[in-house]
Amino acid sequence: MPKVLISDKMDPKAAQIFRERGVEVDEITGKTPQELAAMIGEYDGLAIRSSTKVTKAILDAATNLKVVGRAGIGVDNVDIPAASAKGVVVMNTPFGNSITTAEHAVALMFALARQLPEADASTQAGKWEKNRFMGVELTSKTLGLIGAGNIGSIVADRARGLKMKVVAFDPFLTPERAVEMGVEKVTLDELLARADFITLHTPLTDSTRNILSAEALAKTKRGVRIINCARGGLIDEAALKDALDSGQVGGAALDVFVEEPAKASPLFGTPNFISTPHLGASTTEAQVNVAIQVAEQMADFLVSGGVTNALNMPSLSAEEAPKLKPYMALAEKLGSLVGQLATGALTGIAVEVEGAAATLNQKPVTGAVLAGLMRVHSDTVNMVNAPFLAKERGLDVREVRSSHEGDYHTLVRVTVATADGDRSVAGTLFGDQAPRLVELFGIKVEADLAGPMLYVVNDDAPGFIGRLGTLLGEAGVNIGTFHLGRRQAGGEAVLLLSVDEPVTAELLAKVKALAGVRTAMGLSF
């Protein structure tokens, strides 16, 4: 009989579901990492919320562990690469607390508009400062959504019910989906300039970290009010403190912080600042929902092998898996590549399989492409929910199958439609196992996509490679592999270099300053 440990406090219905489905369960909470490591070896599954940290050390000690289930969205407390290396499936429940989180954002918006916490403290202190607390109405104000996915769309619906105008910034939001939501799709700068209130509903990734930086806050309408119930790190907290002090920001409400538990934030004690201790998902209904969902998902996996909402494993039958897994590895890398390189809003994506790839089930390949593409902007996307998330954002997904062989016996091509035109990448499998890029935006270039990489588009001219190599050498950057291609002699050329360490902003600036460089970016796989 499979055995599961629930290591964080969870609704009792979770344990009940495990037992009803033939899974033995222990509820042991509050253990130190050392204590957890000592006991985890006897369990097949580990059910957690946010307190338990599933580190590499825990996973190394988990000799029988097959699945980790997170009752909630964020998996910052799980070392997913280490879990994948161990063959441990990591699941979450990405939609169980959406309404609760959205409602908390709306509650904080009301609290900011009417200065409710300060008014409450003043009144209970025996004061009657009616003239001090002059609030603002929400009606007719403009709400700016940074992130228009599941939670953001719920906030938009509630805000429209309050007669607010809603503008939204989201790379995956199509014009058609914006119309469905009743919001106006805008650029980030336009949102900052127009919004009276800003709410954030995006995960923390490299592209969203400090999305509200000092520079961004300076672009906002003076007196804007900001709410963050998504992830700490989306806002530069020191910059927000300065903006509150100067009056550039009229009020801010944070449910999440860079460091949690937040005990010494620079924002504490600042006038017009409201804080809550990560309560976004803290309602009875939400906790029941995520507890039930994680128990059902883990029990299905342990008893029958079903996979739902896995972050590191596709939904596959036992017969399909051996043939499809190399293709999905290739597809995910291609999706990640085009997601990192394509600029502007994406309106559509086409996944084409050619040759031997056309004989296989294309759905997992498409799911892997979408997971790689959308994981650039989201830390909760997976091969199972990626198609749903793409549909939710109105992203047009097309699948193309071509049985003829071209230059390669098997090929996967990913093309995204952007405002700047179509962008296409293609890859194949060497030896039917090793993923390899073979075409990048119309340029023939063969490359492995692994680890940190430097991407450079430059004018094809003598001496450039030497200058770039010298620059990297002087910067102490070691080159692992070097791949290049060009459209024609003296025209546009492209370089893909794998390097030992992530590409820094300082290094990018130096590369961009080289004569002939058109574009330079750091990539990660």
Enzyme catalytic residues: 231, 260, 278
DSSP line for 119-146: HHHHHHTT---TTT------TTPEEEEE
Helix (H) or strand (E) holding 165: strand 165-169
Distance CA 78, CA 85 (A): 13
DSSP line for 250-263: EEEEES--SSSS-S
Tell which residue, 100, 114, 98, has the closest CA to residue 274.
114
Instruction: Determine the residue type at 224.
Output: V
Question: In whole angstroms, how far apart are CA 225 and each of 181, 203, 362?
Answer: 22, 20, 46
Main-chain phi, psi angles of 486, to 5 degrees: -150, 155
Residue 238's CB is within 10 A of a number of other CB atoms, namely 13
Which residues are bridge partners to 112 per DSSP?
A: none
**Six-digit token string for 332:** 């995910």
Distance CA 60, CA 62 (A): 6
Distance CA 44, CA 65 (A): 4
Q: Residue 515 class from Cβ within 10 Å (0-12 exposed, 13-18 middle, 19+ buried)? A: exposed
3-state DSSP assignment of residue 283? coil
One-letter-per-residue 3-state SS of 295-317:
HHHHHHHHHHCCCCCECCCCCCC
Asked if 254 and 109 count as a contact pair (C-beta separation under 8 A), the reply is no
3-state DSSP assignment of residue 474? helix
3-state DSSP assignment of residue 15? helix
Q: How far apart are the first and last CA of the chain?
A: 38
